[in-house]
Amino acid sequence: MTGEIFKIAVKEQLDKMIRSDAELFYVDVEKNELFEHYLASFPEGTNPIFRERTVHDCSACKMFIRGVGNVITIIDGITHSVWDVLVGGFEQTVADALSEKVKDKSITGVFRHRVKTLGVKQQREVLENGIVNIYDHFHYELPRELISNDISTERGKFETDKQVLERSLEEISLNAGETVLELIGENQLYRGQEFITHVQKFVETKLKYDGLGKWEKPNWLWLKSVELKSLGRFRNTVIGTLLTDLSSGKPLEEAVRMFESKVAPTNYKRTTALVTQAMIDRAEATVAELGIEKSLARRFAVAKDITLNNVLFANQPMRKKMKKATKKQSVFIQIEPTKKSYDDVDEMSINEFINSVLPHAKKIEVMVENKHTNNLMSLIAPTNKRSPNIMKWNNPFSWSYNGEVTDTIKERVKRAGGNVEGFMRFSLSWDYYDDLDIHVVEPNGNEIFYGKTRSTWSSGYLDVDMNVSDRDSLEPVENIAWADDQRIQEGVYRVFVENFNKRDMNASGFEVQMEIDGKMSLFSYDKPLRQKERVQVIEFNYSKDTGLTSINSLPSSTVIKEVWGIETQQWSKVSTIMLSPNHWNGEQNGNKHWFFMLDKCVNPDKARGFYNEFLMNDLRDHRKVLELLSSKMKTEITDKQLSGVGFSSTQENSVLVKVSGKINRVVKVTFAPPKVTKQQLHIDRTVIHADVGRCEVCKREVTTGDSRLPCPSCAYVYHTSHFLESVRVSGFCPTCGIRVTQAQITTLVQLATV
């Protein structure tokens, strides 16, 4: 029981708190404890015994105090409780005591209640003599927005918002947020503009949070989490992963690469390094100190740059252009062959070819297949011949492989975000507004199409679907690709195209590009399709042993493309064959490449003059700046160059070679990583326990508690993740340049300190 004035004042205070539109919160005081404090706050003599209990010890008021007595709100930084009332007398003492107790506690959650009514407004008691006693109690009718049938779920959502916000502000540094804003501002972060508002809000929130005192933060976090809602879950967003990685000390380049892998299509690759002005200044000082500024300017190499002792084969016109050898000429160049007809196609390794076939060759041609377009390469030389050498090896030459070859259908698919690098791919292309769909039925009957885009039986995936609904394009494509050749099913495949929605009266036919293991074919259909009409493109049998065998198909052709001035699937004359510059003059520095320079092969674009892995160790600390510099200081475009196809010692590949000379034959030359010897397999366990120091990739200290790996050759120490990432991409140690085998990696991981 309570006085009417006290009851009305508390109700009006609660009205005021709710009308403020500020969120109501529970604080950390146990409900029964608060009611006991209420009873204990009455001054002596103001809460006498009535029948069995004291006057104010009633179940109705207890229900109200337990329900809403520990509720507060914060308006303009000031905390308000339901007990902040002016009632005078002894009840003011009670109100002040309750207000002080409640406002001294921290928030524990957002207020929600299961029922509308709190307490009982009034009770009547009729005595035996007919007298009616009226007892007033605390009472309130809650508005609908504060009532919930599932309090635990609703309060749990608020709790999660607050917890994730707190973790975000504790674990993500202000520096990380500011760094990401700088990257977005300089357009150095892929799709960064999509996240700029989110990052700006984080920085704003972080600045405020860091300026608060320890005791201010708990309640402020609740207020802020209610304001931001799910937006405050910074660390749980894709941009939050970047912020978290940077805050944990992950190198900028690595963190950004991981972020971009989450938001970019599979074919996206970063073209520039991430650098700051301070990094640029340090690199500039090193270049000046070493006197190599002029060495950074590069151009395409030409025949007269090369000495004969550094080639394995040169035809007669090329030999006339080259410098005379400073050493004894290669025996392959001095031999004059005699003719003998021989038509069999043999398969042999590149070393067998060099040793047994090349010495007798007078004329060589290669079949540049479509799969070789990324093997196209150019030899690069310094623009200033007298400038100091900046390469790891003892000559100033380098090389640059082709990165982009235009193919109309393939480029459309890439622009749409599709995978064009898979082992098997079917790409549908048309040029009108109809909604065409490509379907592929796998050997087990599983159909991949718009209704089931991903195969659970293989890696098949429809990743591009255009002209659906109002998504109209006059350059539409669809794409189904299989990334994992190990999971591709063997058996009969059926590929067909359906017109799902006919919209365009000017419709014609379509084309389907099929690529399997680098071999590309084009199927054409020259008639418009009716609504829901289906046309089978090809039915074929696929075997991992024998490859593709067509059963029936639309008319097709092996795609012949002109790239770099030569036609694929045709014979191209070889002007010279040579090793990569890092293996000239008997030197063996890193992975070996074999270059087949081709007549009329011309890189139509500018090429990179150097790559970081080519540069001398003095420049290692400035690799990010130099990567950016190399992307800007490219060669000038010219048709005077040495270009052709190259093959690495670390990658499996093959090329058809037509040899004319003492014997005329076509040979399939194969390239494969060298077999691992028992000596290479062995790694002394003591190498794992090498002294710790700086990681040669990230330049941060490697402590005894870190997972670390050394190079088995030079014993430089790396963080495990950095070493594995570097070696798996390049195949060799980033410091000494010596090849690291997969077997060595496996052994190192097994021995690694965790």
Q: Please, what is the Cα angle at 290 between 288 and 295, to 5 degrees?
A: 85
Over the stretch 259-307, which tens digit does the pLDDT of each residue have? 887 776 544 445 455 665 655 666 677 777 677 777 777 888 888 877 7
Is beta strand 653-661 parallel, antiparallel or unpaired with respect to 376-382?
unpaired
End-to-end CA distance of the chain: 67
The three-state DSSP-derived secondary structure of 70-118 is CEEEEECCEEEECCCCCCCHHHHHHHHHHHHHHHCCCEEEECCECCCEE
Query: Where would I find the H helices in 375-484?
Result: 408-415
Task: Map out the domains of the chain as residue ranges.
Answer: 4-149, 152-263, 301-403+565-614+632-671, 408-560, 678-751
Question: Average pLDDT in the 687-709 region?
Answer: 60
Express each pLDDT in 645-674 by its tens digit.
998 886 778 899 998 877 788 889 998 765
pLDDT at 71 over 90: yes
pLDDT of residue 325: 44
Taking the domain 678-751, which CATH number applies? 3.30.40.10
* pLDDT band of 642, cuts 50, 70, 90: very high
- Residue 379: per-residue pLDDT: 93
- Give the E-state strand segments of 274-349 in sequence order: 298-300, 313-314, 341-349
- With a CB cutoff of 8 Å and minimum separation 6, the contacts of 245 are 254, 255, 258, 259
Instruction: Say what percent of the chain tops pLDDT 90.
Output: 23
Is it the case that residue 456 has pLDDT exceeding 60? yes
Most confident of 334-338, 399-403, 451-455, 706-710: 451-455
How many CB atoms within 10 Å of residue 731? Answer: 18
Neighbour-count burial for 68-80, b at 16+ CB within 10 Å, e otherwise: bbbbbbbeeeebb
Residue 368 pLDDT > 80: yes
pLDDT (average), residues 679-691: 45
pLDDT band at 745 (very low <50, low <70, confident <90, very high): low
Q: Are 379 and 597 in contact (CB under 8 A)?
A: yes
**What's the confidence (pLDDT) of residue 335?**
30
Question: In terms of pLDDT, which residue wins out, 126 or 445?
Answer: 445
- Report the candidate in 670, 577, 666 with the shortest Cα–Cα distance to residue 341: 666
For CA atoms 714, 716, 721, 727, give the dihedral sign: negative
pLDDT at site 586: 83
Query: What pLDDT shows up at residue 686?
Result: 46
What is the model's pLDDT at position 701?
67
Rounded Cα distance, 157 and 376, in Å: 56
Of 19-23, 576-580, 633-637, 690-694, the least confident:
690-694
Which of 343-347, 578-582, 715-719 has the highest average model confidence (pLDDT)?
578-582
| Mean pLDDT across the chain | 80
Q: How far is CA 512 from its chain centroid?
A: 30
pLDDT confidence bin for 59, thresholds 50/70/90: confident
pLDDT category at 53 given cuts 50, 70, 90 is: confident
The CATH number for 408-560, chosen from 2.60.60, 1.10.1760, 3.30.70, 2.30.29, is 2.60.60
User: Which of 311, 342, 337 has the alpha carbon at shortest distance from 324?
Assistant: 311
Mean pLDDT of 41-62: 81
Q: Which residues contact 683 (CB under 8 A, 6 or more apart)?
A: 712, 744, 747, 748, 751
Give the pLDDT confidence of 309-343 residue by residue, as tens digits.
777 777 777 766 665 544 433 333 333 333 333 34
User: Is residue 126 pLDDT above 60, yes or no?
Assistant: yes
Q: Which pLDDT value is given to residue 150?
A: 84
The secondary structure of 619-644 as a DSSP string is GGGGHHHHHHHHHHSPPPP-S---EE
